[in-house]
Amino acid sequence: MNAAATGTRKPLTVAVVGATGAVGHEFLAVLEQRNFPIGTLKLLASKRSAGQKLRFGGREQVIEEMTEQSFAGVDVAFFSAGGPISKSHGPIAAAAGAVVVDNSSAFRMDPKCPLVVPEVNPEAMAGIRLGQPGGAIIANPNCSTIIMLMAVNPIRQAAGVSRIVVSTYQAASGAGAAAMEELRSQTVDVLAGKPAQPKIFPQQYAFNIFSHNSAMQPDGYNQEEVKMVKESHRIWGDSAVGITATCVRVPVMRAHAESVNLTLKKPLGEAEALEVLKRAPGVTVIDDRGNNRFPTPLDASHKDDVLVGRVRTDHSQPGGVGLNLFVCGDQLRKGAALNAVQIAELLLR
Ligand SMILES: NC(=O)c1ccc[n+]([C@@H]2O[C@H](COP(=O)([O-])OP(=O)(O)OC[C@H]3O[C@@H](n4cnc5c(N)ncnc54)[C@H](OP(=O)(O)O)[C@@H]3O)[C@@H](O)[C@H]2O)c1
């Protein structure tokens, strides 16, 4: 249910930290589309953007430089300005009485901060109230994790999941506005016969695929892969599920894709799996074998739902316990801003 439908609460003072960024822009769109009950909106970014304007609710709003004083009287603060800013200013906003919904990885493993996908584990934030003394910090999971769990959680509820092998195909938008510009400008340059000029990513991005750009661990896994494992375990409260991930950046502007191979605890046929997914909130099934029509990042772009298709039995696993899925989700939306606004909507109940 969106905020418009809840109806009764007084309008809130809401801050968007990182309002000029890729996620920040999506926050403004989602808050407006879902009629979140905003009385006062504070658009916060760095000094570089102070004084610039963004449109919200048919009006131009001036962007302010975020400072330690920015959070007085703020009810809800959405943070999307990177981990260091969340770490330094999230606790300041909470101490001022705000409920912080944080998009960075800063608090995702902090046991004091619930890590929430509203369709999966809303109970994790039970007890948090708007206006409570000392505020609160709620963490939004990593985008690839949210998109995977939206598809896998309904299957897990129906048949249990003992193992997940996931491979991601991640878009430029997952790395922010500057990465999207890098893909655009490199594509133009390469098509014009000029050399691509890598700035954000170390390698050529246009017409290329490379291992996710997050930090590499000594064991050969990058941080995105580690996040998918650890965050899924935390959200499910079940670290017994075996999860292994390979995360890759592909030259797609917006929306991530994921190939997911599951080992189930009990057999689940294709038809049953499709029925489970069709009933799942926030999921749309696109699975048309006759026309070879399945989810694409373009289908998923600017959509709230996570798209699931290529639902098929994995014949290599005996006993009908193997299942393959292909999933696409707009990571700026369900992977970031939409999930965060849905978390805030749970506080309006
Ligand atoms: N992109 C995604 O799909 C996605 C998904 C989930 C989570 N996230 C997380 O969300 C955060 C933002 O990602 P993004 O993709 O939107 O990045 P982005 O496009 O690069 O935007 C960064 C934002 O942070 C602001 N900022 C930078 N330094 C600041 C400072 N000192 N004080 C206040 N604001 C400051 C920027 O403001 P200026 O314009 O003034 O520099 C800009 O608004 C990151 O933590 C990221 O990991 C992103």
For 237-250, the pLDDT digits (tens) are 999 999 999 999 99
Rounded-to-integer distance, Cα 13 and Cα 31, Å: 13
Residue 10: its pLDDT value, please? 83
pLDDT: which is higher, 1 or 91: 91
Rounded-to-integer distance, Cα 53 and Cα 48, Å: 12
Rounded-to-integer distance, Cα 76 and Cα 97, Å: 9
106 CA closest ligand 1 atom index: 45
Q: What is the SS3 assignment for 337?
A: helix
Q: pLDDT by residue (tens digit) across 267-286?
A: 999 999 999 999 999 999 99
* Cα 45 to ligand 1 centroid, rounded to whole Å: 9
The answer on pLDDT for 337 being more than 50 is: yes
Indicate the top mutation candidate among 68, 69, 103 to test ligand 1's pocket, ranked by most ligand atoms within 8 A of CB.
Answer: 103
Q: What is the CA radius of gyration of the chain?
A: 20
User: What lines the ligand 1 site, CB under 6 Å?
Assistant: 17-24, 45-46, 48-49, 66, 80-83, 85, 103-104, 143, 173-174, 176-178, 331-332, 335-336
Confidence of residue 71 (pLDDT cuts 50, 70, 90): very high
* Cα 321 to ligand 1 centroid, rounded to whole Å: 41
Nearest CA to ligand 1 atom 11: 80
Nearest CA to ligand 1 atom 37: 45
Tell me the mean pLDDT in the region 117-146.
Answer: 97
Nearest CA to ligand 1 atom 45: 82
Number of neighbouring beta carbons within 10 Å of residue 184? 14
Nearest CA to ligand 1 atom 40: 46
Tell me the mean pLDDT in the region 173-196.
Answer: 97
Tell me the mean pLDDT in the region 4-17.
Answer: 77
Nearest CA to ligand 1 atom 14: 176
* Cα 177 to ligand 1 centroid, rounded to whole Å: 8
Residue 4: its pLDDT value, please? 44
Instruction: Tell me the angle at which helices 177-191 and 22-33 cross, rounded to the nearest 10 degrees.
Output: 120
Domains with residue ranges and CATH for the chain:
3-140+336-346 (3.40.50.720), 144-331 (3.30.360.10)
Residue 145: its pLDDT value, please? 98
Rounded-to-integer distance, Cα 189 and Cα 183, Å: 10
Rounded-to-integer distance, Cα 298 and Cα 179, Å: 18
Residue 8: its pLDDT value, please? 54
Q: Report CA-CA distances (Å) from 288 to 10, 180, 272, 294, 295.
A: 46, 31, 16, 6, 10
The answer on pLDDT for 349 being more than 80 is: yes
Query: CB-based contacts of 133: which residues, under 8 Å, 6+ apart?
Result: 97
Taking alpha carbons only, the member of 28, 25, 336 closest to residue 174 is 336
Rounded-to-integer distance, Cα 254 and Cα 332, Å: 8
The answer on pLDDT for 3 being more than 70 is: no
**Mean pLDDT for all residues in the chain:** 96
Residue 334: its pLDDT value, please? 98
The answer on pLDDT for 188 being more than 90 is: yes
Query: CB-based contacts of 329: which residues, under 8 Å, 6+ apart?
Result: 143, 146, 147, 150, 255, 256, 258, 300, 306, 307, 335
- Helical H segments across 34-176, by residue range: 83-95, 143-159
Nearest CA to ligand 1 atom 7: 103
* Cα 217 to ligand 1 centroid, rounded to whole Å: 24
Taking alpha carbons only, the member of 162, 163, 164, 182 closest to residue 172 is 182
Residue 196: its pLDDT value, please? 97
Q: What is the SS3 assignment for 238?
A: coil
Which residues does the annotation mark as catalytic? 143, 256
Residue 5: its pLDDT value, please? 46
* Cα 278 to ligand 1 centroid, rounded to whole Å: 34
Taking alpha carbons only, the member of 133, 140, 166, 136 closest to residue 151 is 166
Indicate the top mutation candidate among 16, 20, 105 to test ligand 1's pocket, ranked by most ligand atoms within 8 A of CB.
Answer: 20
The answer on pLDDT for 257 being more than 90 is: yes
pTM of the entire predicted model: 0.96
